[in-house]
Amino acid sequence: MIWPKRFSIIVVASVIGYLLVLHAGISSDSDEYLKWYYAVEFFIAAVLCWPVAIYLGFKEIFDFGSNILGMEILVIQIIGYLVSFKIYDKYKRK
């Protein structure tokens, strides 16, 4: 019964990360004084949404084309966290 708890952690981390990205992206355009705060907010969002951040890094490095993101980020986010939990379980048993 640990997987439902882990899936809820993935959903909460994803929602918080995406909300931080949206807030920082929208607010940083209008306020120069708090630019450092929005940079910190983007960093925290990248930590929470690390699978998507890695995907975007690869997409930029290999120039995959369109910058438009769709539903693939949800799949990448979920798969990234599930793989990390699987690796954690594997090394926890040893």
- Computed from CA positions of residues 90, 88, 5, 12, in that sequence, does the dihedral angle turn out positive or negative? negative
Domain that holds residue 66: 8-93
Task: Identify whether 73 is part of a domain.
Answer: yes
Q: Who's near 55: CB < 8 A, 6+ residues apart? A: 72, 73, 76
pTM of the full structure = 0.75
- For the chain, the domain total comes to 1
Task: Identify whether 23 is part of a domain.
Answer: yes
- Cα(79)–Cα(15) distance, integer angstroms: 15
State the residue for tokens 């807030």: 23
pLDDT-based confidence at residue 92 (cuts at 50, 70, 90): confident
* Model confidence pLDDT, tens digit, residues 10-58: 889 989 988 988 888 787 677 677 788 888 888 999 999 999 889 888 8
